[in-house]
Amino acid sequence: MTEWWSYSLRDLLMFSPHTYYRLFELYNIELWPLQLIALALGGSVFLLWRHRSDMAARAIAAILALCWLWVAWAYHWQRYATISLAADYYALAFALEALLLLWLGVLRGRLTFAPAGSVRQRFGLLLFLLALLCFPLIGPLQGRSWLQAEIFGVAPDPTALATLGILLFSGVRPVWWLFPIPAIWCLVSGATLWALDAPDFMITPLLALLTIDLMIVNGSLKHRTSTH
Amino acid sequence: MTAPTRISPPPNNTRRRILGMIAAAPLLLPMMGLSRQSRPAARPILSSGEPLPLVGLGSWITFNVGNDQAARDASAEVMRNFFQAGGRLIDSSPMYGSSQEVIGYGLKKLGRPADLFAADKVWISDGDEGRAQMEASRRHWGIPRFDLMQVHNLLSWQAHLPTLFAMKAGGQLRYVGITTSHGRRHGEMEQIMKAEALDFIQLSYNLYDREAEQRLLPLALERGIAVIVNRPFQQGALLPRLARHPLPPWAAEIDCSSWAQFALKFIISHPAVTCAIPATTRIAHVVENMAAAAGRLPDKAMRARMAAFVDNL
């Protein structure tokens, strides 16, 4: 598109709110009851985190990688791409995040977990539980059908937020390479919802920005501590 | 991007011929055997004289419903009511997601009307890939050929226009055009209009966005170029803005029963405008839009009154 920078986000939006939410509805109907498996996987991530062994951390990374790969293929590639020209690129980004989780988390064991002691880790745990348990309620609380609920492991937003939460409550050394894609997705999704005039457009980007802020503050504090 | 310098005469037209065709436009209704009350008025495509109803059907956003079967069926019903009301021109683009496929679905389900006027666009940077994209679009529609092919948002127009003119010469399409929207690149469009033998231009024009009145619409008349108007309702933003106010009583003088008709009649009554293409998902809106082209249209004085009224709201 020529002069693309002169278009507003709303000018670039190519589907209606009705079409967007119907996509989730039809997706959920086709997938049922896989959502229960996804929620069970989310629950098992929580239990594995409490276990805090190296194997548990690798298992969490594997579950997350599976979820990202599923969303890349089943949501972005198969469904969102039917109404969005950008969805193919989103699918590639989600698949890349899955590969990063497999490489850094499963194979190299870089994801380690500590007890939820610091503010960062407590926020991470809260974010993960919000994504898993509260995010599916956002649509119905706004009067939309339960069939349009966005669920961890199935829909992109709760998957990205839950991942950011897990990365926050990970151990001493954050795995920085795993942050950009979920954080950027949260901003992209917020922008899309803003263009759709969705009242909840702030939720996902705000939580992502809080995550980034906590990571930067935490990182700089650590850096200061280590240089003194 | 270099501005074109070659100035060609209006294709097969003189100013007198064009103005004569416009003056004779109201005669097109009885010629077509249509009643003024039920069928939309038509205006001639200036390069050929072929009459085209003043209201067409856009597909941006509204027909991009993906694989949602219920929404595809609803889109087909919108098309059915559009055709039943005398509509002919449907406009789409490869940029509109699944819209082309949805139009194709509707045409297959309803049976393609003999007088369908299929308008689409080429939207790709690489000129060599233009033909393949247009062929893919044609397959989506399920039609033997497009009536009108336009260069979308002037993207690589230098590469695409020679291809389109060659296709027109070879009988693979009937008309060639260029488009812009949101009031962008009017200067470049003006240069192309002066240099190339275009049949159509497409631009944004509505009660609030009237910049095209200054140069492009008069130039289109002068050059014998038909004009398609997109964003007649500012992509839905215009009507809520107007709906805060009551429709003026004098709107009845031009058979307006709603703000949508008020807005559409303002556009299609401009002598340079050949067709406006509102997009909608609602059957009631299609009927209302088509009715806007069936009743009385404002004259120059009334158009000025309409613009002034809206400016003062």
Nearest CA in chain B to A7: B182
Question: What number is the average pLDDT over the span A135-144?
Answer: 93
Q: What pLDDT does residue B236 have?
A: 80
Q: For A59-79, what is each residue's pLDDT tens digit? A: 999 999 999 999 999 999 999
Question: What number is the average pLDDT over the span B280-296?
Answer: 93
Band (B18; pLDDT cuts 50, 70, 90): low
Angle between helices A156-168 and A34-51 (to 10 degrees): 0
CA-to-CA distance for A139 and A145, rounded, in angstroms? 7
The answer to whether B203 touches B212, Cβ cutoff 8 Å, is yes
Question: Would an 8 Å CB–CB cutoff place B182 in contact with chain A?
Answer: yes
Q: What pLDDT does residue A4 have?
A: 63
Tokens matching residue B38: 């039920």
CA-to-CA distance for A13 and B258, rounded, in angstroms? 27
Question: Would an 8 Å CB–CB cutoff place B184 in contact with chain A?
Answer: yes
CA-to-CA distance for B78 and B96, rounded, in angstroms? 17
CA-to-CA distance for B261 and A1, rounded, in angstroms? 32
The answer to whether B92 touches B117, Cβ cutoff 8 Å, is no
CA-to-CA distance for B211 and B199, rounded, in angstroms? 21
CA-to-CA distance for B124 and A51, rounded, in angstroms? 53
Mutate which of A83, A148, A192, A196 to disrupt the B interface (most B C-beta within 10 Å)?
A: A83
Please count the residue pairs, one from chain A and one from chain B, whose beta carbons lie less than 8 angstroms apart. Answer: 58
Name which of A6, A13, A22 is nearest B184 (Cβ-Cβ): A6
Q: What is the pTM of this model?
A: 0.88
Question: Of A10-24, A141-155, B32-46, B216-230, which gets the smallest average pLDDT?
Answer: B32-46
Tokens matching residue A168: 């926050």
On the question of pLDDT at B274 being above 90, the answer is yes
Q: What pLDDT does residue B32 have?
A: 41
Contact B62 A16 (CB under 8 A): yes
Shortest distance between the Cα of A69 and any Cα of chain B, in A, equals 22
Contact A19 B65 (CB under 8 A): yes
Question: What number is the average pLDDT over the span A109-123?
Answer: 80
Q: What pLDDT does residue A10 have?
A: 78
Q: What pLDDT does residue A121 have?
A: 83
Contact A13 B98 (CB under 8 A): no
Tokens matching residue A36: 């229960």
Tokens matching residue A34: 């896989």
CA-to-CA distance for B209 and B237, rounded, in angstroms? 12
Q: The dihedral of CA A54, A59, A60, A62: what is its sign?
A: positive
Contact A82 B95 (CB under 8 A): no
The answer to whether B59 touches B290, Cβ cutoff 8 Å, is no
Average pLDDT across chain A, whole number = 90
CA-to-CA distance for B233 and B259, rounded, in angstroms? 10
- Chain A residues within 8 A (CB-CB) of chain B? 1-3, 6-7, 10-11, 13-16, 18-19, 22-23, 26, 79, 82-85
Q: For A14-38, what is each residue's pLDDT tens digit? A: 999 999 999 999 999 999 999 999 9
Q: What pLDDT does residue A216 have?
A: 78
Domain spans of chain A, in order of start: 15-227
Band (A205; pLDDT cuts 50, 70, 90): very high
Coil/strand/helix, residue A188: helix
Band (A122; pLDDT cuts 50, 70, 90): confident
Nearest CA in chain A to B280: A16
Nearest CA in chain A to B72: A19
Percentage of chain B beyond pLDDT 90 is 82
Band (A2; pLDDT cuts 50, 70, 90): low
Closest by Cα among A125, A121, A76, A127 to A97: A76
Band (B230; pLDDT cuts 50, 70, 90): very high
Average pLDDT across chain B, whole number = 89
Shortest distance between the Cα of A74 and any Cα of chain B, in A, equals 14
Comparison of pLDDT for A220 and B147, the residue scoring more: B147
On the question of pLDDT at A114 being above 80, the answer is no
Contact B61 A79 (CB under 8 A): no
Instruction: Pinpoint the alpha helices (H) of chain A.
Output: 9-12, 17-31, 34-51, 54-70, 87-100, 119-129, 135-141, 156-168, 180-195, 203-227
Q: What pLDDT does residue A169 have?
A: 81
On the question of pLDDT at B249 being above 80, the answer is yes
Closest by Cα among B143, B204, B142, B153 to B177: B153
CB atoms within 10 A of CB B191: 17
